[in-house]
Amino acid sequence: MIAYREVKHLFKYIDLICGCSCFADLLALRMFPNAKEITESMAAYEALFHKVPVFDMGDRDVTLAVVGDGHTPRTAALFAFRSRWDCHSIDPVLRKTYPSVARLTCHKSLIQDFPEMEVSKLVLVAVHSHAPLGVAYQKFKARDRITVAIPCCVKQEIGRVPDFEYRDEHIWSPHNLVKVWRD
């Protein structure tokens, strides 16, 4: 039998989200179909909260745009619950909106069809997204910006090499490379 302490590192993001006051709400809204999806969204949160804490989670002037969030706005919803940011989920296959989640706006759209948006502070996130990150990068104008991509089968590029990248062993997928750009 394997002791939990021997594999605890594998459960980092599951343990963290289970301790969040918003976890029951996320479950009730059926945001996450499985644990793998939790680890991917939590990895994006971890990247912005611990790896590159550029913007304060309480700063209401920050706009988060999650491109290719999937059928449910899981990553954007996680940030909406855990920050004071204005969160946008953009995906053509979004099934519904979630008006009960404060500061979350869902856009059923390809990023190519999304209107340009100008904000003061931007966090652009692509978690296993099939949307072209370079197009998303051009759609948003911001004075300060950070971009985080966790690519899977589609290259995620913005026209220059990332400022840094790392493998996140806590993502339950072989696609666990996290790329970060700062502007």
Q: Is the pLDDT of residue 50 over 90?
A: no
Distance separating alpha carbons of residues 70 and 3, to the nearest angstrom:
35
Helix (H, G, I), strand (E, B) or coil at 136: helix
What ranges do the domains of the chain cover? 4-182
Higher pLDDT, 148 or 1: 148
* Res 11: pLDDT: 87
Model pTM score = 0.94
Q: What value does the mean pLDDT of the chain take?
A: 93
Which one is the CATH code of 4-182: 3.40.50.620, 3.40.50.150, 3.30.1280.10, 1.20.140.10? 3.40.50.150
* Res 9: pLDDT: 73
| Helix or strand holding residue 106 (H, E) | strand 104-107
Q: Give the pLDDT band (50/70/90) at residue 52.
A: confident
Distance separating alpha carbons of residues 55 and 175, to the nearest angstrom:
26
Instruction: Report CA torsion sign: 90, 96, 99, 102.
Output: negative
Q: Which residues contact 80 (CB under 8 A, 6 or more apart)?
A: 87, 101, 102, 103, 104
* Res 145: pLDDT: 96
Number of H helices, E strands in the chain: 6, 7
Q: Is the pLDDT of residue 38 over 80?
A: yes
Q: Tens of pLDDT along 136-159?
A: 999 999 999 999 999 998 899 999
* Res 7: pLDDT: 67
